[in-house]
Chains A and B, each alone.
Chain A
């Protein structure tokens, strides 16, 4: 285990060190101490390494992640794991707004609550939130899966494309063109796998599925007068 003291070594040195790890690196386990809510911790990683952040992080933790596993022991500030390509990001506490935004792949697990705009414009990432999510989550989400073991806030899945949304608790309101959909066996299979991989003991059959009603895909000539 390599330990980096963020306060002593500074953010640029921390990220440069982690970004320099290659596929064949022998140094696969890293621990970051004195995170103290700093911004942009462990961003742009591209190697199968495991990074543990002891404490809470500020803006943009684990952004643009590829291959790496980043484990935050505290809570994360806004913009967690933005545009993730692959790998895993796990947060033990809560995550602030727009967690997992624009993510293209990989798995993001938030063991507490996520606030507003979780998974906004997601493009293939899988996000599992053990608690609740805030308003406008999965806005314009294109593909991937968002699993919420608690409740969802207002306007879930507004202007949704083809992402799958699974919510166990209540949904305060659905956004434009988002509707409840039938839970078929293939969806239960996806859900079972994601719950298992994210360490949740929630039962797949307790969830409801939401998706796009596909009414906003094409221009409807009857609406011409509105423009």
Chain B
């Protein structure tokens, strides 16, 4: 099944409320996906700084001196902000590649969730309300965010099998559905040099979009071509640094509702995820069309 929520703010005065609104939407979608949950949040930007969001199953040991250790190796200041099993490492943008490499050697057990100037991804196994509480999602601020509640069908219930998936710098993907040709695409992408870590179908979808964009497609074009290349059921919601997109497969059996007001564009797998949003009674509410790419930008 799975549940998706997304909120893209047009009105800056709502930005301090983003985490609270998204948490409420996410928790409402618990019965669509009680096994794990995750959120991608687009927060504030620091000049010339990149955020590397990482996760560890042994966070106390791995994160204790990670900022300093990493800083020494890349010879640049690194600040570490820990949130439960995750930590956000802020460092100079031109050191990001070096830092990822160093991280693999310094802390082999640490996994990179996301990289970007504004995006942070947090995801874990557990009930959405517990996951949101662990990361204090309701206290987060930002311009837009995407959340996912997972009911696993295609692969194991693990942190790395939870959504959102990062598809590139400041880009993420969440998925409701199941892809049926992910094994052949995993082989194809591996031959192309794209690393796919898990047996999860959505990770292949994310890697597919990354690969398309590395080869010159815009995100919109990559989504268009996914309609041709990916077989199966999907409602995808994607996030970019300043945008938010939705696409459903041509059969469109996975539910989707959208709402738009002067203040925001919101997405929910079901309408009940949207009922607490401000001004929802006067919002334009509609079901996105099948095989149609929707996009909003700041």
Chain A contacts to B: CB under 8 angstroms: 36-38, 56-59, 75, 77-78, 93-94, 96-97, 115-116, 134-135
Contact yes or no, B272 A58, CB < 8 A: yes
Chain B contacts to A: CB under 8 angstroms: 250-253, 255, 257, 270-275, 285-287, 289-290
Contact yes or no, B270 A37, CB < 8 A: yes
| Least CB distance, A9 to chain B, in whole angstroms | 17
CA distance A99 to B257 in the complex (A): 16
Per DSSP, chain A at the interface is loop
Partner of A135, one of B272, B275, B290: B290
- What are 25 A-B contacts with C-beta separation under 8 Å? A36-B272, A37-B270, A37-B272, A37-B273, A37-B274, A37-B275, A56-B271, A56-B285, A58-B270, A58-B271, A59-B270, A77-B255, A77-B257, A78-B255, A93-B285, A94-B286, A96-B257, A96-B287, A97-B253, A115-B252, A116-B251, A116-B252, A116-B253, A134-B252, A135-B290
- 7 extra interface residue pairs, beta carbon distance < 8 Å, beyond A94-B287, A135-B250: A37-B275, A38-B272, A57-B271, A77-B255, A77-B271, A93-B285, A135-B252
CA distance A36 to B270 in the complex (A): 11
CA distance A135 to B250 in the complex (A): 9
Per DSSP, chain B at the interface is loop
Across-interface contacts of A37 in B (CB, < 8 A) = 270-275
Across-interface contacts of A116 in B (CB, < 8 A) = 251-253, 290
| Least CB distance, A151 to chain B, in whole angstroms | 12
CA distance A72 to B255 in the complex (A): 20
- Taking CB as reference atom, which chain A residue is nearest B273? A37
Contact yes or no, B271 A97, CB < 8 A: no
| Least CB distance, B290 to chain A, in whole angstroms | 7
Across-interface contacts of A58 in B (CB, < 8 A) = 270-272
> 9 closest A-B pairs (Cβ-Cβ)?
A37-B272, A37-B271, A36-B275, A115-B287, A56-B271, A58-B272, A37-B275, A58-B270, A116-B252
- Taking CB as reference atom, which chain A residue is nearest B250? A135
CA distance A37 to B252 in the complex (A): 20
CA distance A75 to B275 in the complex (A): 13
Across-interface contacts of B271 in A (CB, < 8 A) = 37, 56-58, 75, 77
Contact yes or no, B270 A97, CB < 8 A: no
CA distance A36 to B25 in the complex (A): 13
CA distance A38 to B272 in the complex (A): 7
Across-interface contacts of A36 in B (CB, < 8 A) = 272, 275
Across-interface contacts of A59 in B (CB, < 8 A) = 270
| Least CB distance, A54 to chain B, in whole angstroms | 11
